[in-house]
Structure 1
Amino acid sequence: MGSNLLASINDLGLGFLGYLIPFLFVLTIVVFFHELGHYLIAKWNGIKVLTFSIGFGPEIVGFDDRSGTRWKLSAIPLGGYVKFFGDENAASVPDQDALSGLSEAEKRQTFPGQSVGARAAVVVAGPLANFLLAIAIFAGIFMFYGRQVTSPRVDTIQTGSAAEAAGFAVGDVVRAIDGRRIESFSDMQRIVSGSAGQTLRVEVDRGGAPVTLSVVPMLREIKDNFGNTHRQGVLGITRSMAPEDVKLETAGPLRAAWMGVEETWFIVERTLGYIGGIVVGRESADQLGGPIRIAQVSGQVATVGFVALMHLAAVLSVSIGLLNLFPVPLLDGGHLMFYAIEAVRGRPLSERAQEVGFRIGFALVIMLMIFATFNDILHLASS
């Protein structure tokens, strides 16, 4: 294991720029739009913005705009923040001493001086911007580059597979799974991959006659084109690559936008399903990755082309938007949780309660980062 780890680290070092540049490109796009969401809604509500930073720590380069906002690129490129007038730090914790010395007109320019609804709108705008960015990227890909669509027709069936046990036959065309319409082989794969060990009701067209089958996908380790291993459910069938079963599908603007929404929702649904699986013990948490794995995947995807890299940016944008909505203090979802409590109580939680909440949230985020990084190291060691 030690030699494999050293070899992997050496490989990463030799191709360092090949990993670093795509990683920074993807992360900068995602973080910029997330913070831009906060910034735009804050400005719309009359809040004075002091800093718009991509990254944390010491400033590398920056400038001041006409409104007094400092736009800057910072040394640690693992996130970003927007700091408002009246904030104590980048986490939007109010500076009570500074606020107490402000006039009423100045307080109306602060984030704490806004109504609960306005503050909630500013907070939710970040994750919302991530979802909109993902939809726009997906829509652009579907509209300008299209996607290859393969018919959900069974070409071969592996011996001893879940499909064989369920009674699938060569030539079957899958029409629906658990009531969800199937239009392509990829539609089927997406449902099956996240359903290992679960009974699926599959409706197929067999020579023009409808047939209903019950199948339980088997959990298998699958290697992608880059050699990365993923555990997912499989039926044990292959698709038909006959010319009549394969086509390149492009879409107009409205259809592409809707397809972008569907793609975004699929990622949200699959992510929540995976997290739920971890909670109940059906999924393993070792698939969680951190910055090292994101950098590795970014470098690998960049070798395929710019479109593939933008697709990764869209997927990462959805993931970051969704993560930030979790009700953990320090994240956007934690702020929304506090605002919901304030709306119900008619007054905010005490400063002490919020401080304790932020400390707990900070500890949880740090533990998650450590765990994800540990997974990344193990992933490198086994690759």
Structure 2
Amino acid sequence: MNLLIIIPAFLVAIGILVTVHEFGHFWVARKLGVKVLRFSVGFGKPLWRRVSKDADQIEYVVAALPFGGYVKMLDERECEEGCEIPKHDLPRAFNRQKLWKRAAIVVAGPMANFILAILIYAMVNLIGQDAMRPYVDVVKDSPMALAGFQPGDEITAINGIATTSWEDMRMLLIDEYLKSPQLLLSAKTQEGTAVQRELNLMGVAMFKEEAGALDKLGLNPWLPPYDVVVHAVLPDTPAAQAGLQANDKILQIDTLKPTSGRAFIEYVKQHADQPVTLTVEREGKVHTLNLTPRINPASGVATATIGAQLAPPPASLREQVYFTQSYGLVESLGRGVEKTWQMSVVTLKLMGRMLTGEVSLNNISGPVTIAQYAGVTASIGFTVYLGFLAIVSISLGVLNLLPIPMLDGGHLFYYLLEWIKGSPVSAETEAVGFRVGMAIIGGLMVLALYNDITRLLN
């Protein structure tokens, strides 16, 4: 992926998400009469600075380190030794506000992230986006196959909730699995017959390893049969050494006659270091080639390849499988709220299951992985990049609401204790909480960076 795409896409994403989060704090603080001293996007040395011309003279800053931001409010507890707050400003100090006002200001940041996600999903639904119908391809002897599903079945509902696209089906499947591993799926076969099948996922650890949740089910998108054609052959690979060429049509690999690129790739992956025979058609003539798929060390897993890139499915399949998913204004907003709620709940549940070991800690990503996804989604298209922004915004909102000192949720937890006991927590308690919060956040950052570096090395 080109760094000229990754870096700007990442900086734009971080800039938007941080600005929206901090603006939530800023806007509510101003509306509730709290004096704001500084609004900063980023930390460290200021790259840009402007002071407002009103009486408050708020300092707006864009700083060098983009990984966060802050809103500095007038607060007697942060007044350095020797400083004196003018008496007329004391009623506007944050620490002198009623409990509900302080809580509203703190919760406004995460809420702004959720509102951003809602608006993004609503915009995407209103604009319209390319979507795949929920046709499924099924791996032999997988949970989906054992449940009776066949390639080409269309999933129409999960536990009675309708699905209209592959993305809707994927998210709903994960959401319902987190509620119960026993699912009831409604489907329509290629012959048009409506069926219901029980999918029992007891004992299936979908998130025990990094990603690949649907792979554990043997579930892949399905396309109608089409000719498998070679797009390009990489040099110094088994394919090149055997004489495979671009535009060759693959008729057969051993005894398998592949009807899709996925079927061909799966067969190759399962025959690492085993000789295979390719039958191809080239300029009207049939040729037989012998080669041996080999493991690609750069993949990080035991994945075999022959070194050939396949052409994408023909455009004629789009009408059958792809469609434009779009809605009116009111329905788009409703679906935006629904999708944001669903993603928030799923994110929170997965975080909880990390604590019990049901979800691998390898799923935690840091800035490097986020930057890569920013670049990938930006290169695919505008609506896909918007979807990426919504997902990260939701994650940021959920993370900040966790009851960890230093985070917004930690402050809300202190306010809850204050409401229960009738007085603020002591300075000593806050100091201990700060150190605990620092340790937790620091540990998470180290783990995220370790996962990022491991992915890069692989």
Q: How many residues align?
A: 354
Residue aligning to 2:140: 159
User: Equivalents in 2 of 1:23, 1:185: separation in Å?
Assistant: 27
User: Are the structure 2 counterparts of residues 220 and 343 from structure 1 closer, same or farther at C-alpha, using a change threshold of 3 Å?
Assistant: closer
Once the two structures are TM-superposed, the CA of residue 316 in structure 1 deviates from its matched residue by: 1.1
Report Cα offsets for 1:162-197 as digits up to 9, x if no partner.
222112245644343234333333332224457499
* Counterpart AA for 1:77: P
User: Are the structure 2 counterparts of residues 124 and 285 from structure 1 closer, same or farther at C-alpha, using a change threshold of 3 Å?
Assistant: same
User: Equivalents in 2 of 1:98, 1:340: separation in Å?
Assistant: 30
Residue aligning to 1:381: 457
Once the two structures are TM-superposed, the CA of residue 297 in structure 1 deviates from its matched residue by: 1.6
Query: Matches of residues 219-258 of structure 1 in structure 2 within 5 Å?
Result: 230-234=211-215, 235-237=217-219, 238-239=221-222, 243=319, 246-258=322-334
**TM-score after normalising by structure 2:** 0.71
Secondary structure of 1:108 counterpart:
helix
In the alignment, is residue 147 of structure 1 matched against residue 125 of structure 2?
A: no
User: Equivalents in 1 of 2:174, 2:196: separation in Å?
Assistant: 22
User: Equivalents in 1 of 2:62, 2:78: separation in Å?
Assistant: 24
In the alignment, is residue 28 of structure 1 matched against residue 15 of structure 2?
A: yes
1:182 to 163, 182, 201: 163
Query: Matches of residues 209-224 of structure 1 in structure 2 within 5 Å?
Result: 209-216=194-201
Report Cα offsets for 1:117-170 as digits up to 9, x if no partner.
0000000000000010111111111111x133444344x433222222112245
**TM-score after normalising by structure 1:** 0.84
2:6–2:375 contact (8 Å) kept in structure 1: yes
Name which one, 1 or 2, has greater alpha-carbon Rg.
2
Secondary structure of 2:380 counterpart:
coil
In the alignment, is residue 198 of structure 1 matched against residue 181 of structure 2?
A: yes
**Larger relative contact order (Cα-Cα within 8 Å, sequence gap ≥ 6):** 1
Once the two structures are TM-superposed, the CA of residue 107 in structure 1 deviates from its matched residue by: 1.9
2:144–2:199 contact (8 Å) kept in structure 1: no
Higher helix share: 1
* Counterpart AA for 2:199: S
Secondary structure of 2:437 counterpart:
helix
2:32 to 35, 38, 45: 45
User: Are the structure 2 counterparts of residues 49 and 99 from structure 1 closer, same or farther at C-alpha, using a change threshold of 3 Å?
Assistant: farther
1:151–1:239 contact (8 Å) kept in structure 2: no
User: Equivalents in 2 of 1:99, 1:357: separation in Å?
Assistant: 27
In the alignment, is residue 130 of structure 1 matched against residue 119 of structure 2?
A: no
User: Equivalents in 2 of 1:103, 1:68: separation in Å?
Assistant: 15
In the alignment, is residue 71 of structure 1 matched against residue 52 of structure 2?
A: no
Once the two structures are TM-superposed, the CA of residue 278 in structure 1 deviates from its matched residue by: 1.4
2:148–2:197 contact (8 Å) kept in structure 1: no
User: Are the structure 2 counterparts of residues 302 and 170 from structure 1 closer, same or farther at C-alpha, using a change threshold of 3 Å?
Assistant: closer
**Residue range with higher mean Cα deviation, 97-106 or 251-260:** 97-106
Once the two structures are TM-superposed, the CA of residue 296 in structure 1 deviates from its matched residue by: 1.8
Once the two structures are TM-superposed, the CA of residue 219 in structure 1 deviates from its matched residue by: 6.2
Segments of structure 2 that go 5 or more residues without pairing to the other structure are: 225-316
2:158–2:173 contact (8 Å) kept in structure 1: no
* Counterpart AA for 2:9: P
Residue aligning to 2:97: 114
